[in-house]
């Protein structure tokens, strides 16, 4: 248009036309760019809403775990794995967006990253193309390929942790929502997923696309954690009637014996009564068919089936059956059960007052009686475990202290004088174990961040956790190590549980961030026959 044959005036007109055309094209470009900015902001808002919704779901998981950890443990672990994978992928994409904006606009390190709307070079495509695709004609091996691999890994995590049996459905969903497949037919020479999505696109479009992928990741996360949470009770019969129940071992108690009862909260459904079939069988999982469930079930009253029997002779009487419950989806769940009762004359009763094992080095209180027989007519002995059994008159009739010395098993044998004859009433086997090792503490702490003054004032105290006996240990020796940045390692030996003056002097000079370790902690029982030295776990503190 501005050829050499045109007049100067015509050349000027032609040049102005070109400028106006360029300006017109520039205006269109700005409109498109602004549209991408608007899209990015809209998708960002959607992603934030999904984030909030997902956080509410995770809070529901926490609530469910606090109520019934055993029931929700598996799905909670699956959800935690998905949360971690989703968070890592979203962060990687966010870091990539910041990198694109920073390099494109030439933002210096340490300066805040501007919002997409505030960028200077929104239409630049050289920088995003180089970062995402590089010079390779397939666009592979750069940031886009790294992103693709992370998306694929995230999809595998979803499939490995989605509700059981839903893998096929989730694979279809993920292949649509987070499609990373190469195009079946090349368009404009773009043969790979990387090229199709990121090659020669202005940075504003690239950032908007990355925001959309973040939103899709959160959407996939939202779908699977929702179904995980609801899958636990999907086919559970809803109980709407609760009754306090007491089941006693016997309603007849003789003097010298114990009355025991299980007190629990019973839940039943007013609209879906269970069917109990005596003599029916099924596999232990309850998912198979029931053999014998086509007969007449036990009568049900208020959600409870009533079973009665009248033994005619001594001995054990076993009975079993299957409880069949119809689930909300119309299928049946079977719960096999086994039970027994013994018809016999009075028999002995042996119970450990505090534990179901005998511990070496301590008095193990025992209650031994024979229902219907006076305590002074009951004879007891112990075999194995290097044991001795002595009466404890201070605790009352039928009370004994068992003392053992050897790890293994011990058998308590009981006999009773009935009608002038000594009759064996049974033998009861117990495990013999050492008292568990205590845990060392300092200032009621097992390690972590601590104030220097608190540490200097502390003493080492060994504690027996979750142990019912009134038993105490004492610290007989330990080693303290102080280390820190720019500081020589200092080691001190101590006996007993008190810090030595040298230790306190060293602690007075520690600084924030220094590490203090208590190692080679040794302890013994404060009293008792077991005086073996116990090596306790080390304590590690960081100075505040």
pLDDT tens per residue, range 278-296: 878 887 555 567 887 877 7
How far does Cα 229 stand from its chain's mean position? 14
Boundary residue ending a domain (275, 310, 343): 343
User: Does residue 23 carry a pLDDT above 50?
Assistant: no
Asked which of 209, 231, 253 is the last residue of a domain, the reply is 231
Domain CATH number, residue 384: 2.60.40.10
Domain span at 421: 349-433
Inside any domain, residue 1: no
H-helix or E-strand containing 440?
A: strand 439-442
DSSP letter, residue 445: B
- Pick from 311, 343, 375: which residue ends a domain? 343
Whole-number Å distance between alpha carbons of 429 and 159: 49
pLDDT tier at 76 (50, 70, 90 boundaries)? very high
Domain count, the chain: 4
pLDDT band at 472 (very low <50, low <70, confident <90, very high): confident
Q: How far apart are alpha carbons 101 and 120 in whole angstroms?
A: 9
Whether the Cβ atoms of residue 214 and residue 94 lie closer than 8 Å to each other? yes
pLDDT, averaged across the chain = 81
Mean pLDDT of 32-36: 76
CA 442/CA 452 separation, integer angstroms: 12
Check residue 503 and report its DSSP letter: H
**Residue 6 clears pLDDT 60, i.e. is over it:** no
- Least confident range from 83-92, 232-241, 374-383, 449-458: namely 232-241
- Asked if residue 3 belongs to a domain, the reply is no
2 within some domain: no
Are residues 331 and 199 part of one domain? no
Same domain, 444 and 365: no
Q: Quick one: which of 376, 360, 394, 416 has its CA closest to 528?
A: 360
Q: Coil, strand or helix: which one is 461?
A: strand
Rounded to whole angstroms, how far apart are CA atoms 117 and 477?
66
- pLDDT score recorded for residue 287: 57
Which pLDDT score, from 0 to 100, does residue 251 have?
A: 43
Residue spans of beta strands (DSSP E) within 240-298: 241-248, 261-268, 275-278
Domain presence at residue 32? yes
pLDDT at 355: 59
pLDDT at 3: 44
* Sole residue written with tokens 């929502």: 177
Has residue 346 got a pLDDT over 80?
Answer: no
pTM equals: 0.46
Q: Are 225 and 54 in contact (CB under 8 A)?
A: yes
Whether residues 273 and 221 fall in one domain: no
Looking at the fold, whether 225 and 363 belong to one and the same domain comes out as no
Q: What is the mean pLDDT of residues 256-282?
A: 66
Distance from the first to the final alpha carbon of the chain = 76
User: Residues 116, 253: one domain?
Assistant: no
Binning pLDDT at 50, 70 and 90, where does residue 268 land?
Answer: low
Q: What is the pLDDT of residues 39-68, one digit of tens each?
A: 888 888 888 999 999 999 999 999 989 988
C-alpha 162: how far from its chain's center?
16
């Amino acid at each position: 248009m501005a050829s050499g044959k045109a007049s100067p005036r015509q050349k000027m007109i032609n040049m102005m036309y070109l400028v106006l055309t360029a300006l017109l094209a520039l205006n269109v470009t700005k409109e498109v760019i602004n549209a991408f900015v608007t899209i990015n902001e809209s998708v960002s808002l959607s992603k934030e809403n999904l984030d909030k919704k997902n956080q509410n779901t995770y809070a529901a998981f926490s609530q469910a775990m606090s109520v019934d950890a055993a029931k929700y443990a598996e799905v909670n672990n699956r959800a935690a794995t998905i949360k971690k994978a989703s968070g890592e992928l979203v962060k990687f994409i966010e870091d990539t967006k910041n990198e694109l904006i920073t390099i494109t606009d030439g933002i210096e390190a340490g300066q805040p990253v501007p919002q997409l709307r505030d960028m200077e070079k929104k239409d630049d495509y050289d920088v995003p193309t180089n970062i995402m695709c590089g010079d390779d004609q397939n666009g592979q091996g750069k940031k886009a390929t790294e992103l693709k691999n992370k998306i694929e890994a995230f999809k595998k995590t979803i499939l490995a942790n989605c509700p059981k049996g839903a893998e096929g459905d989730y694979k279809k969903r993920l292949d649509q929502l987070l499609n990373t497949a190469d195009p079946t037919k090349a368009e404009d020479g773009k043969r790979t997923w990387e090229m199709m999505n990121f090659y020669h696109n202005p940075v504003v479009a690239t950032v908007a696309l990355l925001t959309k992928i973040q939103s899709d990741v959160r959407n996939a996360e939202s779908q699977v954690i929702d179904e995980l949470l609801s899958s636990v009770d999907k086919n559970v019969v809803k109980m709407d009637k609760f009754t306090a129940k007491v089941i006693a071992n016997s309603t007849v108690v003789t003097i010298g014996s114990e009355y025991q009862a299980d007190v629990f909260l019973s839940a039943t459904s007013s609209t879906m009564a269970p069917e109990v079939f005596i003599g029916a069988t099924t596999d232990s999982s309850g998912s198979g068919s029931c053999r014998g469930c086509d007969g007449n079930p036990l009568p049900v009253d208020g959600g409870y089936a009533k079973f009665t029997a009248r033994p005619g002779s001594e001995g054990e009487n076993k009975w079993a059956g299957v409880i069949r419950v119809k689930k909300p989806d119309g299928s049946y769940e079977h719960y096999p059960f086994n039970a027994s009762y013994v018809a016999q004359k009075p028999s002995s009763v042996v119970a450990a007052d505090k534990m179901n094992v005998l511990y070496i080095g301590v008095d193990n209180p025992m209650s031994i009686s024979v229902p219907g027989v006076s305590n002074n007519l009951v004879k007891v002995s112990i075999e194995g475990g290097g044991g001795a059994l002595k009466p404890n008159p201070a605790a009352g009739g039928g009370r004994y202290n068992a003392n053992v010395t050897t790890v293994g098993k011990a058998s308590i044998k009981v006999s009773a004088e009935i009608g002038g004859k000594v009759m064996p009433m049974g033998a009861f086997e117990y495990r013999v174990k050492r008292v568990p090792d205590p845990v060392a503490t300092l200032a009621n702490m097992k390690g972590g961040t601590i104030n220097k003054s608190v540490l200097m004032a502390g003493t080492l105290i060994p504690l027996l956790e979750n142990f019912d006996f009134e038993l105490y240990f004492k610290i007989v020796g330990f080693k303290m190590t102080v280390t820190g940045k720019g500081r020589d390692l200092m080691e001190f030996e101590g006996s007993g549980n008190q810090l030595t003056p040298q230790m306190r002097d060293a602690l007075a000079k520690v600084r924030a961030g220094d590490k203090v370790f208590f190692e080679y902690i040794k302890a013994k029982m404060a009293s008792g026959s077991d005086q073996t030295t116990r090596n306790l776990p080390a304590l590690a503190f960081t100075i505040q």
